Structure 1
Amino acid sequence: MKLSTAVLVAASASAPVAALQGFGQQSTGYFPYCATACYRALGSNYLSCSFDGYVPGGMMDSDSASATPACRAGNMPFLSSLAYCISTHCSYDIGIIETWWAAKSTGSGGAFEPPKWSYQEALMNVTTAPTNVLTAKDNLTSAMLANETNYRNQYGTLFMVDREEFLHEKYGLVLLMMGFGIPLLATWLGYLPFVSPLIHKLKPYIVWPSTIRSYQVRPLPYLGGSALTRGQALYVAAMTILTVVFMAVHYESYQPNLWYPGQSVELMAYVVWRTGCYSLALLPVVLLFAARNNTLLWLTNWSHETYILLHRWVARIFALLVIIHSVLSIAYYVEDGNYDSNFSEAWWVWGSVGTVAVSAMLITATPWVRRYSYEFFLLSHIVLAVFVLAGTWYHLLYLYMNMSGYEQWLYVAFGVWGLDRLFRVLRVLKNGVQRARIVDIGGDIVRVDIEGIRWGFQPGKVVYAFFPTLQPLRPWENHPFSVLPTAMLERSNAVAPALDKDSRSSLGSGTRNDVEKNVISQQIPTKQVATAAEHQPTAGITFFIRKSRGFTKQLAAGTNILALLDGPYPGNPTAPILQCDRVLLICGGIGITAILPWIDSHPNVKLAWSVKEYASPLVDSVSKVLDRVVEKDVRIGHRLDIEELLAEDTQAGWKRIGVVACGPDGMCDDTRALVTAAAKRGNAQFELEVHAYSW
């Protein structure tokens, strides 16, 4: 039961502004426990300046009238009795005692008045050791002894409460740091020279494979959700195990407890505290993983799709903790007999608002809702998230009046959520008001061109596009699209360097001397200057959209359509693929949009693309890009043989093959399974990136 003095001194409650419980300048405000126990053992008795009807703040174990802080501050019998009690029970340095005395001897928090005498001055006033023991009914009119039983119970109660709050805040910090730290650690370890080869060997076994057969992008039968890969499952398992362990360990009880009558009630209260604290600790992780401006996207090699999937699972842990917190709170107050008196309190009402909003989010975020109406899911998710944050804030505000330190967790959560929203707006403002041209190319596919955007040719970029005039009743709606440079679609095959007239005529001769001249003439540099008229504009972006239900169904051919762009954002990491000797691009249907930028990013690319008959106009739309690809396998109305494609590259002797897949759910899952199997055979080293365009 003993905490180190250094930790307790650091947790001293000398400052009115709360930090995390047990950290920084303040824990719960009870250290040193001997001094606070003396104050509480004496503080509920009448003084000469007391009046009926005043109940001291923070005296959870007292229901009797007592004195105001101003009354205590100038009352020598109280201060001398308190000083004598402290002198006989506390062995701390005088500086620690004086610090506590100056801040806590007459009250706590806002209910405090500086004492008229210092600790040593009040103690010097006790010229003769008191012998009378104070009882609950006595008026404190002279220096008296605190009741020893009351003192011990006060000390034990305060120590146990402080211990529990220190523990669950410490464990909460571990959860928060592990939530953010695991992706960083997993990525940065991969850069170590002696670790990187090991990770490459482990990827086919513990990173890429699905946990449930070959399901990953495809929805699971009956359940409808997405299966985790083994790598993703390791993260979820680590966070789940940590949460369960931290919920289960290091409970202790003190009885008779002046706050909690009975061990079961006391331990139930501690469980309520832990579930509340751990849910607060996980909230920033939940919000960051869902954010578009997720700093971990730039600091790790994990994809946005992975973070979204982990967001759902961490959010489920968070929601479960919130629900358990609420259910046990009801059980606790029913057991304690105070349910009716607390039910209408503001802190209870706002806590209920947060719990109901979390429960509603679990329902509206199910795969069935997301697939049936993504727009409804998105709007309801944002609105309910606001209610969760507001409910939690006011729950803590009315319960603790910002004196507990729990609001520090919310500051982090507000920062993550608010900065993400702010940077979204700033990105839209930076890109400015744009005009889009929409062309219906057939097969329920439209091409959207937006001129004047210069984002480069790097693969893996995603943009969230708004078209307010197409949906005037819901102008805030936006959807993610893979983006490619318009110039890439307009550029034809590379033209051979131009030669002057004499050089061209000399190439027609067949004599030896002429051949020698040819060699020389080809080595003479020729000056070339391309004019702007010879080239299509280099600025602009394009994305292809397949019409479906909801917003995309409203897309129709038109020009000068108002467009706002939030982006670009990184989708999947590109470095591991681009470091390979060979890149195999596998796509289906509209997935070609995410694949095309890879073509100009690596010198050794093979493209395999299958398109359904009705979507064949899409092939014509990207024909100029296809003409530049030396190795390609484009099939209309036929499936790709992915296993054969992998076997061909392996047999060709490539040592390190990067595979990028984007297309229908089944094709992506098949590619994952086949690449995993090929990597296990060890004939070549593989890298894999899957761009799923389902939600």
Structure 2
Amino acid sequence: MAQPRDAEEQRINRIFGSYLYIFPSLLVFTGIVRTLYTAYRSHHLPRTDPESRTPNRRVYPPSALSSLFSRYIKYPALFGNRHSQPIGWYTFPTRLEALLVGIYWFINISFLFVKHGNADNGIDGSKILADRAGVLSLWNMPIFFLLAGRNDFLVWLTGWSYGTFHVFHKWVARVSALMGMVHSVAYAVYMYQIGDEARRWNPAYWWNGVSAMIVMGLILVLAIFPFRKKAYEFFLITHIIGVMVFLIFLYHHLKLSATRMYNPWLWACIAMWAFDRFTRLLRILILNYGAFSRNPQNHHLARAKFVKGTDVIQLTVYPSAEDVNYFPGAHYFVFLTGTWRFWESHPFTAAAWRPSGPMMPAYNAADIHKIKRSLSGSLKNSGRELEIKCLIEGAYGVNHPLHLYETVVLIAGGVGITTILPYLCDYMERARGSERRTMTQRLVFLWTAKEEELVENLVSKRFPRGCLTRRDISMQLYVTKMKPGQTEFLPGVKYKRPDIGEILRAEQARLVGKMSILSCGPSVLVDIVRTAVVDCLDKDRKHIEYFEESY
């Protein structure tokens, strides 16, 4: 009777493993519906009058339930006012992300213990628990492999940020590791209970499983925030090598099992990893095909220089392709093939794209310390613009639908301006002429930076012409660090820290229609903006949507 009972337990385990995918599928379906609705609204924009203060659609105030949800669940940080800033060794998700993660963990733990009615004694119970935990661990693996890649197609389908998917990637991986640990411990107990019978088992089967579990634990330990922050390249290399070693051990563990029915989930993980790597290689070849030509004249160079008076590096890239799929908020990865650290990829946000060049000026915003480590010595020693060989990969990111809101508030800190500035240019392009392709009637542009030279450089060279004098655009520029004895100041610039809460409350008071807020900058700034948005939601029932990009 043991074999039929084992077969029945395996069938039940596979059913519960499949049920794991219901909740994530519902979340993805919700995101797809939201994306389709946004696309429909974008293609059916009502005619707008830039001089009118009345929205061109009927806007009802949000329901009390919707306001409470946004105020207490959707936007607040999980603990206090720190979301992007770490608390100790960890950066915590938002309350909404934590709630969704908690539900998913509850489902996993519930499935681990329900319907164990075929256990006749403690020995059977240990084996059934071990098998159930092993199935749940394995069924979770394709999810966190999918969410780990740069080319996660769920980002395109749902419009959610990479940051959101990385939160789910980490927590799904952790629950998978927890189930793997339960699987290992429960089987150890089972082998102790059966005594001499355990000697008939293949030792390689046991040790491959134990080794896979140990490697998975090491991967999780080396992925904690201090390692990622202080030694990112070490984290990345150990992460990639660790995952490869883990998959090898897991492959041999499953290969020696009594059944091969679990192999498809392992191959699904390998296929997702291979798809991401192949797509990244394809992106590099498409954007940089001239770099692989035998003709040296086709080899394009990037130009790097310090913005005078700052530690900010401006990088101007000349890719081979005429179309780099540029959009507001797009970011790319650059490989400095002319340096000995050619394998490192540095993320940067493109501030502009001129296809007639082609040319892509950018200020590295996401990982400036790494690119400085590779370039700053050469740049400072030369004291001039430096030409370097490079390859780019992209575009990645999300184009937030800010044009569907009557009021748009853009908030940038430091080199976060590279993410925010393209949205200003996009608004001015959409608002040009009689056929306006935007519902936005008022745009507030707030930029705060330490260095006066950075503000002067970008305002004079990168800001769209006429943006400083338009009545529908409120330009608010702040410099937070004055030079000793400074007597000359930039016109239109305030030399102080902005009161972001007061600015948002003022815009909320005059709001007619819906308002979107996008912030990008250091973790301290985006946490201040998030807190101010939550406070605004507590004051009045108005439609406010918050988008965040941090570095």
TM-score in terms of structure 2 length: 0.80
Contact 1:464 1:565 in 2 (8 A): yes
Q: 2:189 aligns with which of 312, 326, 331?
A: 331
Q: 1:236 aligns with which of 88, 101, 105?
A: 101
Matched, 1:462 2:331: yes
Which amino acid in 1 is paired with 2:276?
D
Q: 2:400 aligns with which of 570, 574, 596?
A: 574
Partners of 2:325 and 2:414 in 1: CA distance = 24
Partners of 2:326 and 2:467 in 1: CA distance = 16
**Paired residue for 1:185?**
30
Q: 2:287 aligns with which of 431, 439, 442?
A: 431
**Paired residue for 2:426?**
601
SS at match of 1:185: helix
Structure 1 residues 343, 373: CA separation in 2 closer, same or farther (over 3 Å shift)? farther
Matched, 1:417 2:298: no
**Paired residue for 1:485?**
352
Task: Name the larger-Rg structure.
Answer: 1
**Paired residue for 1:445?**
312
Contact 1:189 1:195 in 2 (8 A): no
Structure 1 residues 440, 339: CA separation in 2 closer, same or farther (over 3 Å shift)? farther
Matched, 1:629 2:455: no
278-287 or 425-434, larger mean C-alpha shift: 425-434
Contact 1:247 1:275 in 2 (8 A): yes
Matched, 1:250 2:87: no
Contact 1:605 1:629 in 2 (8 A): no
- Counterparts in 2 of 1:653-692, with a 5 A limit? 653-682=511-540, 684-692=542-550
Structure 1 residues 383, 678: CA separation in 2 closer, same or farther (over 3 Å shift)? same
Structure 1 residues 327, 230: CA separation in 2 closer, same or farther (over 3 Å shift)? same
Partners of 1:430 and 1:328 in 2: CA distance = 50
Segments of 5+ residues of structure 1 without an aligned counterpart are 1-153, 256-262, 488-535
> Would you say how many aligned residue pairs link Structure 1 and Structure 2?
474
SS at match of 1:587: strand
1:573, CA displacement in angstroms?
4.5
Partners of 2:239 and 2:425 in 1: CA distance = 38
319-328 or 210-219, larger mean C-alpha shift: 319-328
Contact 1:189 1:196 in 2 (8 A): no
Structure 1 residues 581, 349: CA separation in 2 closer, same or farther (over 3 Å shift)? same
**Paired residue for 1:540?**
359
TM-score in terms of structure 1 length: 0.64
- Counterparts in 2 of 1:326-405, with a 5 A limit? 326-338=184-196, 341=199, 345-400=203-258, 403-405=259-261
TM-align CA RMSD: 2.7
Contact 2:35 2:158 in 1 (8 A): no
Partners of 2:216 and 2:60 in 1: CA distance = 41
**Paired residue for 2:488?**
none
1:338, CA displacement in angstroms?
4.9
1:608-651 alpha-carbon deviations (Å, 9 max, x no partner): 111113x6335413433335423211111232211122122223
Partners of 1:624 and 1:425 in 2: CA distance = 34
Contact 1:180 1:285 in 2 (8 A): no
1:243-270 alpha-carbon deviations (Å, 9 max, x no partner): 0110111001354xxxxxxx11111111
Partners of 2:197 and 2:243 in 1: CA distance = 28
**Paired residue for 1:203?**
70
1:349-380 alpha-carbon deviations (Å, 9 max, x no partner): 22122112101111110101011111111111
1:209, CA displacement in angstroms?
1.3
Which amino acid in 1 is paired with 2:76?
P
Structure 1 residues 187, 690: CA separation in 2 closer, same or farther (over 3 Å shift)? same
- Counterparts in 2 of 1:141-290, with a 5 A limit? 154=1, 157-188=2-33, 201=67, 202-220=69-87, 222=88, 224-253=89-118, 255=120, 263-290=121-148
Partners of 2:12 and 2:283 in 1: CA distance = 41
**Paired residue for 2:52?**
none
Which amino acid in 2 is paired with 1:634?
L
Q: 1:651 aligns with which of 480, 484, 509?
A: 509
1:456, CA displacement in angstroms?
5.4
Structure 1 residues 479, 190: CA separation in 2 closer, same or farther (over 3 Å shift)? closer
1:457, CA displacement in angstroms?
5.1
**Paired residue for 1:115?**
none
**Paired residue for 1:590?**
415
SS at match of 2:21: helix
**Paired residue for 1:124?**
none
Structure 1 residues 479, 176: CA separation in 2 closer, same or farther (over 3 Å shift)? farther
1:680, CA displacement in angstroms?
3.5
556-565 or 317-326, larger mean C-alpha shift: 556-565
Tell me the percent identity.
24
Partners of 1:317 and 1:225 in 2: CA distance = 17
Contact 2:325 2:395 in 1 (8 A): no
Structure 1 residues 634, 269: CA separation in 2 closer, same or farther (over 3 Å shift)? same
Contact 1:282 1:318 in 2 (8 A): yes
1:584, CA displacement in angstroms?
0.8
SS at match of 1:605: strand
Contact 2:62 2:543 in 1 (8 A): no
Matched, 1:561 2:388: yes
1:390, CA displacement in angstroms?
1.6
**Paired residue for 1:310?**
168
Structure 1 residues 342, 320: CA separation in 2 closer, same or farther (over 3 Å shift)? farther
Partners of 1:196 and 1:307 in 2: CA distance = 30
1:477, CA displacement in angstroms?
1.7
Segments of 5+ residues of structure 2 without an aligned counterpart are 42-58, 292-299, 380-384, 432-441, 469-473, 481-495
